[in-house]
């Protein structure tokens, strides 16, 4: 009788661990960070730049759109791109979340990106004495609304 009871308990334990045991050896997928939209994100010091995308129609000039979350003081951020290391600078206020390309702030104009839609634009992000980071930003066209409203003005007039 004891052997039958022990066998039943062992079988029940095998079924329970067999059905749920995969969480014991593999990480839970929902705890990992990822970029759920079209863009990419990067952390530099107090800043987190989320969902970075460059929009262009002709591959020559582009608009950089993203959301910046700053947990520190105001920073003057340098964005460097292109073969000639063109640099664009913008100020991100302290203790804020700012949408570039939203209702209150225009996208950041990048002239001379020379990157066609569908490719990746290498962009180096840095401020102050913080160590900068290189990120590969997707370049998209305006075929998806509302991206069509955020294309560079020079591209829309051609």
**Range(s) within the chain of domains with CATH label 2.60.40.3770:** 40-157
State the CATH architecture for 40-157: Sandwich (2.60)
Q: What is the mean pLDDT of residues 31-52?
A: 90
**pLDDT of res. 157:** 44
Q: What is the C-alpha R_g of the chain? A: 24
Q: What is the residue-averaged pLDDT of the chain? A: 88
Q: Is the pLDDT of residue 158 over 70?
A: no
Whether 50 and 34 have beta carbons less than 8 Å apart is answered as: no
DSSP string covering 37-86, please? SSSEEEEETTEEEEEEEEE-SSSSEEEEEEEEEE-SS-EEEEEEETTTTE
pLDDT single digits (tens) 64-106: 999 999 999 999 999 999 888 999 999 999 999 999 998 889 9
Task: Give the list of residues 6+ apart from residue 23 with CB closer than 8 angstroms, or none.
Answer: none
- Look-up of token digits 């950089």: 64
């Amino acid at each position: 009788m004891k052997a039958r009871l022990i066998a039943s308990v062992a079988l029940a334990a095998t079924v329970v661990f067999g059905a749920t045991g995969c969480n014991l050896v593999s990480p839970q997928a929902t705890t990992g960070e990822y970029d759920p939209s079209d863009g990419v994100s990067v952390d530099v010091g107090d800043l987190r730049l989320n969902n970075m995308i460059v929009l262009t129609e002709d591959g020559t000039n582009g608009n950089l759109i993203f959301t910046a979350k700053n947990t520190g003081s105001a920073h003057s951020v340098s964005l460097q791109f292109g073969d000639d290391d063109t640099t664009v600078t913008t100020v991100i206020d302290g203790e804020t979340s700012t949408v570039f390309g939203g209702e209150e702030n225009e996208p950041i104009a990048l002239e001379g990106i020379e990157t066609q839609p569908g490719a990746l634009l290498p962009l180096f992000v840095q401020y102050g004495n913080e160590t900068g980071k290189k990120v590969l930003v997707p370049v998209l066209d305006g075929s998806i609304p509302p991206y069509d409203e955020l294309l560079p003005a020079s591209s829309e007039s051609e």
